[in-house]
Amino acid sequence: MAQPIYIYGLLDTRTDHIRYVGQSVSPVLRARAHTTQALFENRLGNNLNSKAQWIVELGSEDLKPELVILEEVFDGPDTANDCEAQWIMRLLEEGHPLTNTRLPEDLREDRLALNAARERGREMFSGAGVHGEAIRNLRIKQRLTQQDLSNEAGISLGQLNRIERGRIHSPRFRTIEALAAVLGTDADRLMELPDTP
């Protein structure tokens, strides 16, 4: 069996958005290399690309990108390139503000499709999002602390705090589902206008 090539994303845990998509046979090492290189270039005072600027910004808050494995590819580099391009298009359409500056060849050739995907993502998420106040009010009704809810939902306390305060407006859907499950409601309800406690 061939060694897998991993399509990975680097996640901003403050916003729950994937900010970069890449591929590697060693994604953990590659993710560390992205961080190390960005911090090194910043220390040297070099111009930073958008990915490096984002990583440095995270570092200023004592945070690092979170590695997310999107897909394992066993069919070689050509298939991995196709999969990477598909993930970039999909994530752009979902509204993720990717920092990728070098794009797979298919996307470079089809700038119109790439720009259309970005625009669809902006339109889809311009009014959508979770209502932090709805989560807070349901949590209070159930007499849960933020610590209780974050532990039960499997998210960090800081992330829950930012969601409730509206600093994270569009977390990943699985985060919304986890919160909804603990709060005994469905995900759609958390995306509606808030109830009063």
Q: Indicate the domain borders of the chain.
A: 5-125, 132-190
List, for residues 28-60, the tens digit of each pLDDT value. 999 999 999 998 888 898 888 889 999 999 999
132-190 CATH pick, 1.10.260.40, 3.40.50.720, 3.20.20.70, 3.40.50.300: 1.10.260.40
Task: Find the mean pLDDT for residues 147-174.
Answer: 81
Which amino acid, one-letter code, is at 56? V
Chain position carrying tokens 């600093």: 167
Residue 193 confidence (pLDDT): 46
Give alpha helix (H) positions in 45-186: 50-60, 77-93, 105-109, 111-125, 132-141, 146-153, 157-164, 173-183
